[in-house]
């Protein structure tokens, strides 16, 4: 049996990334909080967020919709983060990210990205989080019924009002980002600084995800990020929703219901086992290593709810991965 590497904070200063075209410096791993208020809350949340900062972390990601899929509370994730910020007073130690404009949970195909909906979501986010300004504010979905220029100008209005510093897009296709970039260049705007999408070691070979309003990293989007380095990739589902952990544990029933359950991804599972032995690494560390061998700026999201899982994920920063090991 091999020893899993753990993270040493002594090296964090050389790990910080400056997001291109911004003044923001972040740790290469961001903390996603979709399950905040469900998996952890109160003092448990305080411990998790404090540990993330103690290990060098800086970017905390949420959304107005998280985790509205469990009634009755709305904006639960933002509320948990806001409670922590009020108790701990650490606003200046984090890069705060949230998102608005997500469709209502009971009708995913009715867009909510008009001026009134976005103002509604942003004002609620500011109030719930207990802050005056959001560092990066995202459109959570796209609305192809509006031009990219209209959507950029809406975000510019929020920025000029001092409510957001920068803005990004989530679940947009490459063509729409190119449209937005062209408009930003023509009108001397900074435009999107970041893009969130479904992207991980297994996403290329997975079956279609249940929610087709999500956008995955396809060949067009990959080319986009390789060419347009000013738009940082912030992928979600970084650890493949536990799929490869299920493979190792032999949890056959969960495997069969997962969109990751494909012949090619089962081959990747075997490769991951080999890489674990080579790097003396955990499954999560190998999954994160995939990101750190990409040739563009990338800050993957992780969503641990336990201290041990967080420390394990941060341990990926101790490993010098070879890009050749992640060609599948």
pLDDT in tens, 176-185: 999 999 999 9
Mean residue pLDDT of the chain comes to 95
Q: What average pLDDT does this structure show over 102-114?
A: 92
What number of other Cβ atoms are within 10 A of residue 180's Cβ?
Answer: 25
pLDDT of residue 14 exceeding 80:
no
Q: What average pLDDT does this structure show over 263-291?
A: 98
Render pLDDT for 282-317 as a digit per residue (tens, 0 to 9): 999 999 999 999 999 999 999 999 999 999 999 999
Whether 232 contacts 195, CB under 8 Å: yes
pLDDT of residue 13: 46
> CA-to-CA distance for 125 and 257, rounded, in angstroms?
34
Torsions phi, psi of 34, nearest 5?
A: -60, -30
Torsions phi, psi of 164, nearest 5?
A: -140, 150
User: What DSSP designation does 67 have?
Assistant: T
> CA-to-CA distance for 33 and 301, rounded, in angstroms?
9
Confirm whether pTM is higher than 0.75.
yes
pLDDT of residue 106: 87
2 cis-preceded (ω within 30 degrees of 0): no
Using alpha carbons, select from 244, 309, 234, 308 the residue that is nearest to residue 273: 244
Lowest mean pLDDT among 170-174, 252-256, 319-323: 252-256
3-state secondary structure of 252: helix
> CA-to-CA distance for 139 and 156, rounded, in angstroms?
13
Helix-strand-coil split of the chain, %, nearest 5: 45, 15, 40
Render pLDDT for 139-160 as a digit per residue (tens, 0 to 9): 999 999 999 999 999 999 999 9
Torsions phi, psi of 88, nearest 5?
A: -100, -20
């Amino acid at each position: 049996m091999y020893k899993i590497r753990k993270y040493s904070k002594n090296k964090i200063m050389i790990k910080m990334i400056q997001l291109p075209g911004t003044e923001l410096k972040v740790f290469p791993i961001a903390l996603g909080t979709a399950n905040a208020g469900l998996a952890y809350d109160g003092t448990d949340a305080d411990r998790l967020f404090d540990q993330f900062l103690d290990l060098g972390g800086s970017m905390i990601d949420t959304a107005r919709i998280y985790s509205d899929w469990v009634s009755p509370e709305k904006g639960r994730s933002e509320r948990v983060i806001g409670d922590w910020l009020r108790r701990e007073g650490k606003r200046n130690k984090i890069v705060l990210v949230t998102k608005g404009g997500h469709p209502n949970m009971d009708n995913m195909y009715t867009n909510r990205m008009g001026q009134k909906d976005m103002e509604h979501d942003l004002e609620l986010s500011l109030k719930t989080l207990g802050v005056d300004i959001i560092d990066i504010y995202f459109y959570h979905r796209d609305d192809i019924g509006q031009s990219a220029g209209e959507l950029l100008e809406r975000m510019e209005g929020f920025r000029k009002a001092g409510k957001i510093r920068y803005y990004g897009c989530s679940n947009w296709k490459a063509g729409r980002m190119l449209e937005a970039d062209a408009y930003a260049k023509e009108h001397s705007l900074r435009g999107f600084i970041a893009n969130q999408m479904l992207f991980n070691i297994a996403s290329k070979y997975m079956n279609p995800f249940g929610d087709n309003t999500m956008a995955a990293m396809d060949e067009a989007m990959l080319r986009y990020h390789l060419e347009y380095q000013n738009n940082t990739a912030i992928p979600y589902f970084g650890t493949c929703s536990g799929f490869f952990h299920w493979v190792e544990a032999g949890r056959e029933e969960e495997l069969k219901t997962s969109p990751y359950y494909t012949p090619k991804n089962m081959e990747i599972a075997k490769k991951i086992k080999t890489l674990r032995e080579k790097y003396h690494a955990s499954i999560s560390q190998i999954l994160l290593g995939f990101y750190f061998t990409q040739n563009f700026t990338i800050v993957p999201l992780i969503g641990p709810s336990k201290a041990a899982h967080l420390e394990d994920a941060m341990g990926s920063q101790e490993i010098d991965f070879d890009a050749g090991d992640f060609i599948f």
